[in-house]
Amino acid sequence: MSKKSWDDITAQVKEEADIVQIVGEQVDLRRTGSRYQGLCPFHQEKTPSFFVYGDKQYYKCFGCEETGDVFSFVMKSQGLEFVDALRYLAQRHNIELPERRQTEVEVKRRKKRELLYTVNRKAAKLFHTYLLEAKQARGAREYLKERGVTEELIRQFTIGYAPSVDSAGWNFLGATFRGEEKKAALDAGLLVAKDSGGTYDRFRDRVVFPIYSIGGQVCAFGGRILGEGQPKYLNSPESDIFTKSRSLLGLYQLKEHIRRQDRVILVEGNFDLISLVAHGFNNVVAPLGTALTREQLRLLKRFTENVTLLFDGDEAGRKAAFRAVPSFLAEKMSGLIAVLPSGHDPDTFVRKQGVVALENLFQRAEELPEFVFKNWVEQYGMGLNGKRRIVEELKLLVESTASPLQRSVFLSHFAEKLGMEAAILERHLNTAKPHKYPADKADRSTGAAAPTVRPLSAQQRQLVEFMILHPHLFEHLVEQEIELCLAGGIGETLYRALKQMVDEDPAIDPEDLLTALPEGEARHLVLSVLQRGALAVPVSESGNDQDLEDIIDFLKREKIQRQSQKLMKRILEAQQENNDALLMELSAEKVRLDQLLHN
């Protein structure tokens, strides 16, 4: 293990990584004097305006103004966080990275995740090879050919086929795994345990789509049945390496095109995605049978902030669009929607109507809030009762706005459409319930300057670092009532975000916080902690280390002392006012706090 600090490693990587070589692997560079020139990888252009300066180790595009060093380029081009970009470059140059201390539980979890990726990778290869070569997969190949899926597309997306029971029995996949790998295949959902003992394959007689992480690891599968039967579509269950709400089909394969075009098309189905790619639309992704989530939008924001939803024109498609609006607003993203004619999905439309018709549909795409408002007008009308209903519907959208400016523009725009004063509309909407995204609360103040956030003390910082690096021990920290120690600052923001994530998935990793948190101070702190990887507080399996307990105890005592000081001030005021009743009440509370301190 390297004894160098992360700062030393970062400097060494920056010194050894040749930016001309790194960029040259993605951009056709030509030398012009002391610099290199090529077409910018970050926007579409015909005349080269992208320059790389080898002597100073940075790049700059004079077309889109994108500039940075080798880390910036890898992060931007591959959609990576700084830690992952540093790790990627360090591995390329055989530079050993320092590792933070891990508990036995964390080591076991890491090995379990590695094994899950291993069995998924093997399964993907087996399904893929079977589809391409097996005689029994002829029907699947013909089915894909009829739907316009070429062999090139099959290879690009590693599409496979899980054979039917008639062709390969119940354990085509299960027969390839033994021991720990078989257990991992069960955990990954590739196999299903029988009540009577033994296992059988989850995916049978299905065209199988591997689902990749942003880093290119197979984390799950989605299967479409060929014959009759239910369910028509089947995804892997969630596991330690797969969460549906944080995954997007096609993003790994098409992220470079999405970034270059600065736009992404979002469709609902696997074959919708493949069909559009087959017809030349190479900036498409699909969620995995779930409503679009903020986590998925944050993944897309690494490559573009311009998203066009391509949904069916039926009731289900409209509802999906309605559900997506709050997430777009909360993430400050530009969302458009193109609605397909009745009876069509993206696959049938592009195959029957053609590319030009679909391009024209995109040209007529509407902004999501406008689309939703127009549908409310059609549903409720613009009479007195209709306007009342529309105002009620607008509440959720206004709650979701992520900044005072966005809220103000939103109110003015829709107040005008409703024939109301913006102030009157706002007054009606102020009865809305609190927003369900507490992490963004500070961004949505309604005009007054945000209150100054109290900086973390040294002890709070240690506690927050422990909380970030060891989410598997979070329940222990909750039992210790650490929220009381972090109230009123960035520590509380991180506590609440982590609690929500652990409640949903106790097996999260520290890096998952980066995806869950919006851009801001809290996210920067997490990134800083992960970059250093060091931990000031020792840790055991249970988290019951004396140093940690001492920190928590110190913070609790400090909080009680502050409360006691404030209380003493109020006692003096009560004495000056001769308010005996209040004085007795405050004195009793002071005695209680003093007892807590002594205990």
Domain positions in the chain are 6-93, 106-242, 255-380, 458-536
- Determine the Cα–Cα distance for residues 338 and 265; give it in Å rounded to an integer: 10
Binned at pLDDT 50, 70 and 90, residue 275 comes out as very high
Looking at residue 448, its pLDDT comes to 37
Burial degree of 207 (CB within 10 A; 0-12, 13-18, 19+): buried
- Asked if pLDDT for residue 356 goes beyond 90, the answer is yes
Kindly report the pTM of this predicted structure: 0.67
The residue with greater pLDDT, 247 or 526, is 247
Alpha-carbon distance values, 472 to 187, 244, 504 (Å): 18, 20, 13
Task: Measure the CA–CA gap between 309 and 305, rounded to whole angstroms.
Answer: 13
DSSP-derived secondary structure for 355-396: HHHHHHHHHT-EEHHHHHHHHHHHHH-SSHHHHHHHHHHHHH
* CATH code at 106-242: 3.90.980.10
> Is pLDDT above 50 for 440?
no
Dist. CA 243–CA 191, nearest whole Å: 18
Task: Kindly state the average pLDDT of the residues 549-563.
Answer: 68
**Taking residues 339-368, what's their average pLDDT?**
93
Highest mean pLDDT among 144-153, 228-237, 532-541: 144-153
Residue 237 pLDDT greater than 80, yes or no: yes
Grade residue 447 by pLDDT with cuts at 50, 70 and 90.
Answer: very low
pLDDT at 444 over 70: no
Give the least confident one: 125-139, 144-158, 345-359, 399-413. Answer: 399-413
How far, CA to CA in Å, does 264 sit from each of 79, 260, 364, 389, 464? Answer: 14, 10, 16, 33, 36
Percentage of the chain surpassing pLDDT 90? 32
Q: How far apart are CA 347 and CA 148, in angstroms?
A: 10
Reference 251, options 275, 227, 216, 223; nearest CA is 216
The predicted structure's pLDDT at residue 15: 83
Half-sphere exposure of 78 (CA within 13 A, CB side): 24
State mean pLDDT over 508-517.
Answer: 72
Burial 8-34 (b: 16+ CB within 10 A, else e): ebbeebeeebebbebbeeebebeeeee
Q: How many residues does the chain have?
A: 599
- The pLDDT, as a whole number, for residue 272 is 93
| Residue 536 clears pLDDT 50, i.e. is over it | no
Position 543 scores a pLDDT of 45
The answer on pLDDT for 343 being more than 90 is no
Mean pLDDT of 467-488: 76
pLDDT at residue 555, as a whole number: 64
Among residues 464, 530, 459, 462, the alpha carbon closest in space to that of 496 is found at 464
> Could you tell me the two tokens for 35?
């610099």
Name the 3-class secondary structure at 254: helix
| Structure confidence at residue 96 as a pLDDT band (50, 70, 90) | confident
Mean pLDDT computed over 478-489: 73
- Local structure of 513: helix, strand or coil: helix
If one compares 71 and 84, the residue with the highest pLDDT of the two is 71
At 131, list the tokens. 């589809």
Residues 6+ apart with CB under 8 A from 91: none
- CA 466 – CA 537 distance, rounded (Å): 7
Confidence band, pLDDT 50/70/90 cuts, at residue 2: low
Average pLDDT of the chain, as a whole number: 82
Look up residue 514 and give its DSSP letter. Answer: H
pLDDT average, residue stretch 200-218: 92
Rounded to the nearest 10 degrees, how much is the dihedral formed by the CA atoms of 171, 176, 181, 185? Answer: -40
Least confident of 47-56, 192-201, 256-265, 541-550: 541-550
- Looking at this protein, which amino acid is placed at residue 28? D
Cα(522)–Cα(167) distance, integer angstroms = 54
Ranges 63-77, 89-103, 180-194, 259-273: which has the least confidence: 89-103
Q: How far apart are CA 468 and CA 482, in angstroms?
A: 13
Mean pLDDT within 537-548: 49
pLDDT confidence band for 442 (50 / 70 / 90): very low
> Does pLDDT of 541 surpass 50?
no
Reduced to 3 states, what is the DSSP secondary structure of residue 21?
helix
> Which alpha helices (DSSP H) does 104-209 contain, by range?
104-133, 138-146, 151-156, 165-168, 179-187
Percent of the chain with pLDDT over 70: 86
160-174, 232-246, 467-481, 582-596: lowest mean pLDDT where?
582-596
For residue 443, the model assigns a pLDDT of 39
Q: Is the pLDDT reported for residue 58 higher than 60? A: yes
pLDDT at 457: 76
Under 8 Å between Cβ of 295 and 516: yes
197: left (phi over 0), alpha (psi -120 to 50) or beta: left
pLDDT reported for residue 554: 65
The CATH label, of 3.90.1010.10, 2.60.120.260, 3.40.1360.10, 3.30.70.3170, for the domain at 255-380 is 3.40.1360.10
Same topology, domains 106-242 and 255-380? Answer is no
Sheet with strand 218-225: strands edge to edge: 160-162, 206-212, 218-225, 233-235
- Separation between Cα atoms, residue 196 and residue 187, nearest integer Å: 18
Q: What whole-number distance in Å separates Cα of residue 113 and Cα of residue 116?
A: 5
Q: Does 312 have pLDDT greater than 60?
A: yes
- What SS3 state is found at 439? helix
Tokens of 538: 């020792």
- The C-alpha atoms of residue 544 and residue 204 are separated, in whole angstroms, by 47
pLDDT computed for residue 567 by the predictor: 75
CB-CB contact of 100 with 530 (8 Å): no
Query: Would you list the DSSP string of 544-590?
Result: --HHHHHHHHHHHHHHHHHHHHHHHHHHHHHHHTT-HHHHHHHHHHH
Task: Give the residue from 328, 332, 348 showing the smallest Cα distance to 340.
Answer: 348
- How far apart are alpha carbons 69 and 584 in whole angstroms? 65
Predicted local confidence at residue 566, as pLDDT: 77
d(CA 394, CA 374): 12
The three-state secondary structure class of 239 is strand
Residue 133 has pLDDT above 90, yes or no: yes
Query: Could you tell me the two tokens for 242?
Result: 């797969």
Q: Which fold has domain 6-93?
A: DNA Primase; Chain A (3.90.580)
Residue 200: both structure tokens together = 């059988």
Q: Which of 465, 473, 475, 477 is nearest to 530 (CA)?
A: 465
